[in-house]
């Protein structure tokens, strides 16, 4: 079972060389490896299947590709060195052409001359090679042998699910994309964190049912939504994981609704943790949260990243390699997910069974029995206190006061500025003393 940052990093390294795209054997091999750690149900959706306003495309696979200078026999670009070297979904090519003819099909990053870019051409027939600007500038004039040994044929789109049954059928959807080739942060770190989180949850019985979706970006989530329309209403909360392993501070992008349960939970957890972080508003640009939050579905699905997409210079380049991501960053991302889902699973509404005046807590062993101390000495406005149990006592008072069947424990934590754990512990103690009922 994957439990540590080191193990997540090892998974990233193992998956990194595989050539993934929105379809094909690279996706299948990726899911095979993830399936060694958690049980997966793999779905194959045939080419031509109508999925909402889209159609499942032909399946793309590639075996080899290279550019070879004819006069010298020197191979200047080779797909075997990196899956980034070929534009994803390139049609097959076998030709000899001059450098001038070849140049429109060569993609570089002049502003980052040592790096290889990531490029795609999913829905328009095209072909191309990606290489560093440094390599391009060293390519001599003359003819080049151009080979892309690929296939575009009727096949299927592949995605997988892992479901952790809960006490209730209401679901938390956790999604990550598996279509990017050799890019470690975007999105193998998200795949690794999702795998570790799923493995952890499977060790216990959570309150909610957790559904993990490993699918290609955009077309994968659209396909899943189209195939699950009758059960979408079970999804109460959702989180898209991406860019989960860089050393930047965490960023939570809120759902389209902005006040969904997952939005409130992530805001609270990040604020209470003291971690450097950002919370940003929803926009219809980014990862698959934009599909889940499209107006017809409007699900409460946010996105958790570290540095957001396109926010770091290594984004969609060969510099996004396993050395760019860290075990510590993935552990931190996993910890925030763990904390957030713990809050989701424990958030309840209670009713105070002794609502007329404050019940006597001391005789129930719930309150400091020493009299004569001022409330100012007992607790502070933010929940700290002169005594170690001050925060617990204040939490009990807040829970008793707001447990009217309308306020949840998260409501109470937010209003009192107390950590959710303190509020949940207080509720458990009060329920045990017969003063609350769920």
Binding-site residues, in ranges, read: 180, 186, 316
Residues 150 and 63: beta-carbon distance below 8 Å: yes
Sort 167 into a burial class: Cβ within 10 Å, 0-12 / 13-18 / 19+. exposed
Residue 207, number of CB atoms within 10 A of its CB: 17
Helix (H/G/I), strand (E/B), else coil: 230: helix
Tell me the CA distances in angstroms from 331 to 5, 222, 239, 248, one per residue in order.
5, 30, 17, 13
Give CA–CA dist 414/140, Å, rounded. 65
Report the length, in residues, of the chain: 438
Element (H, E) at 268: helix 261-273
For residue 307, what are its two tokens?
């540095």
CA–CA distance, 223 with 221 (Å, rounded to integer)? 5
With tokens 């080779």, the residue in question is: 78
Distance CA 4, CA 54 (A): 39
- Residue pair 317/109 in contact (Cβ under 8 Å)? The answer is yes
Distance CA 177, CA 18 (A): 14
Short-list 90, 60, 63, 64, CA closest to 77: 64
Which of 126, 130, 134 is closest to 110 using CA atoms? 134
Helix or strand holding residue 157 (H, E): strand 156-164
CA-CA distances (angstroms) from residue 299 to 61, 173, 302, 380? 34, 10, 9, 39
Retrieve residue 79's tokens. 């797909």
Residue 221 to residue 209: CA distance in whole angstroms: 19
User: Contacts by 434-437 with C-beta closer than 8 Å and gap 24+?
Assistant: 434/353, 435/352, 435/353, 435/354, 435/359, 435/364, 435/400, 436/350, 436/351, 436/352, 436/353, 436/399, 436/400, 436/403, 437/350, 437/351, 437/353
Q: Is 298 left (phi over 0), alpha (psi -120 to 50) or beta?
A: left
Extract the annotated binding site for Zn(2+): 180, 186, 316
Does 333 sit behind a cis peptide bond, omega within 30 degrees of 0 on the bond before it? no
């Amino acid at each position: 079972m994957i439990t540590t940052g080191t193990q997540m990093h090892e998974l990233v390294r193992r998956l990194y060389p595989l050539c993934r795209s929105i379809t094909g054997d690279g996706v299948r091999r990726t899911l095979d490896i993830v399936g060694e750690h958690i049980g997966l149900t793999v779905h194959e959706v045939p080419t031509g299947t109508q999925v909402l306003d889209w159609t499942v495309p032909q399946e793309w696979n590639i075996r080899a590709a290279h550019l070879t200078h004819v006069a010298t026999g020197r191979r200047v670009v080779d797909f075997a060195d990196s899956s980034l070297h070929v534009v994803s979904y390139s049609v097959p090519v076998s030709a000899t052409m001059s450098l001038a003819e070849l140049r429109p099909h060569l993609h570089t990053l002049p502003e980052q001359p040592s790096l290889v870019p990531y490029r795609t051409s999913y829905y328009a027939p095209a072909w191309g090679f990606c290489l560093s600007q440094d390599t391009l500038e060293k390519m001599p004039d003359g003819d080049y042998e151009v080979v892309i040994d690929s296939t575009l044929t009727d096949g299927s789109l592949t995605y997988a699910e892992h479901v952790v049954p809960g006490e209730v059928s209401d679901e938390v959807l956790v999604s990550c994309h598996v279509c990017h080739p050799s890019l470690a942060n975007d999105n193998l770190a998200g795949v690794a964190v999702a795998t570790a989180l799923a493995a952890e949850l499977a060790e216990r019985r959570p309150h909610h049912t957790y559904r993990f979706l490993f699918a290609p970006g955009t077309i994968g989530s659209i396909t899943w939504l189209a195939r699950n329309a009758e059960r979408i209403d079970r999804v109460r909360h959702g989180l898209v994981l991406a860019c989960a392993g860089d050393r930047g501070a965490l960023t939570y992008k809120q759902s389209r609704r902005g006040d969904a349960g997952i939005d409130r939970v992530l805001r609270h957890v990040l604020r209470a943790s003291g971690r450097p972080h950002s919370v940003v508003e929803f926009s219809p640009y980014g990862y698959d949260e934009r599909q889940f939050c499209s107006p017809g579905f409007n699900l409460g699905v946010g996105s958790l990243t570290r540095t957001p997409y396109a926010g770091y210079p290594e984004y969609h380049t060969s510099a996004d390699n396993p050395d760019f991501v860290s075990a510590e960053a993935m552990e931190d991302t996993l910890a925030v997910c763990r904390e957030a889902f713990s809050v989701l699973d424990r958030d309840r509404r209670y009713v105070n069974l002794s609502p007329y005046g404050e019940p006597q807590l001391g005789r129930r062993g719930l309150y400091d029995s020493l009299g004569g101390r001022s409330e100012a000495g007992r607790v502070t406005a933010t929940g700290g206190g002169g005594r170690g149990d001050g925060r617990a006592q204040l939490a009990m008072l807040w829970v008793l006061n707001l447990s009217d069947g309308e306020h949840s424990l998260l409501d109470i934590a937010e209003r009192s500025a107390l950590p959710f754990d303190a509020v949940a512990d207080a509720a458990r103690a009060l329920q045990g003393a017969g003063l609350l009922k769920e």
